[in-house]
């Protein structure tokens, strides 16, 4: 049985699913998915504490095991390259991540892989940008994807704060 809990953040309420050994999902939802328990396991409690510390500006690197679920080898390679090599306050283009991951995925394909990331923020897909701007972002509250991405990058110091 997996555990589900939420943390309030400046970009909305964030839900986290833990199976007790790894974080399996990070979402912008406050209602528990089916087949989850709202009694937190110790890993879920740690994940919620780390997310709160991140949003409070006290944490720059997550120390949590993640489970990416069923993914192709290519998707897993791209997400792990992102997770392991793109730090707080850094950005990388879609094409740069393709090269760094050692895959032959074109930039557009990297964008699709970012959208398949089951643990955003912890595996920081918000740090992957287009060569000519922010690119897309499927995280955040409905309709708030790019605003959420901008806020996360400003919070990490990767973008100057917006004037409005």
CB 153 within 8 A of CB 127: yes
For 19-74, how does the pLDDT look when each residue is reduced to its tens digit (9 = 90+)? 999 999 999 988 888 888 888 899 999 999 999 999 999 999 999 999 999 999 99
Residues identified as active-site = 125
Strand ordering across the sheet containing 2-9: 23-27, 12-18, 2-9, 36-37
In the numeric block, which tokens belong to residue 162? 């917006």
CB 40 within 8 A of CB 153: no
| Residues ≥6 apart with Cβ < 8 Å to 150 | 134, 159, 162
In the numeric block, which tokens belong to residue 11? 């970009």
Handedness of CA 13, 90, 67, 116 (dihedral sign): positive
Q: How far, in Å, CA of 102 to CA of 18, rounded? A: 30
CB 112 within 8 A of CB 76: no
For 81-132, how does the pLDDT look when each residue is reduced to its tens digit (9 = 90+)? 999 999 999 999 999 999 999 998 998 899 999 999 999 999 999 999 998 8
Name the class of domain 2-55: alpha beta
Boundaries of every domain in the chain: 2-55, 73-155
Domains 2-55 and 73-155 share a fold: no
- For domain 73-155, say whether CATH 3.30.200.20 is its number: no
In 3D space, the residue among 38, 41, 65, 61 whose CA is nearest the CA of residue 51 turns out to be 61
């Amino acid at each position: 049985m997996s555990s589900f809990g939420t943390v309030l953040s400046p970009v909305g309420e964030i839900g986290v699913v833990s199976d007790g050994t790894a974080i399996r999902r990070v979402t912008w939802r406050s209602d528990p998915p089916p087949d989850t328990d709202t009694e937190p396991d110790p890993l879920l409690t740690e994940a919620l504490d780390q997310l709160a510390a991140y949003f409070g500006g006290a944490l720059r690197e997550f120390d949590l095991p993640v489970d990416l679920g069923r993914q192709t080898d290519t998707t897993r390679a791209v997400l792990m390259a992102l997770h392991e090599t793109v730090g707080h306050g850094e950005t990388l283009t879609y094409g740069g991540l393709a090269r760094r991951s050692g895959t032959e995925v074109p930039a557009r394909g990297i964008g699709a892989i970012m959208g398949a990331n089951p643990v955003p923020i912890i595996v920081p897909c918000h740090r992957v940008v287009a060569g000519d701007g922010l690119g897309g972002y499927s995280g955040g509250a409905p309709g708030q994807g790019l605003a959420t991405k901008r806020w996360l990058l400003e919070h990490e110091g990767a973008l100057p704060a917006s004037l409005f």
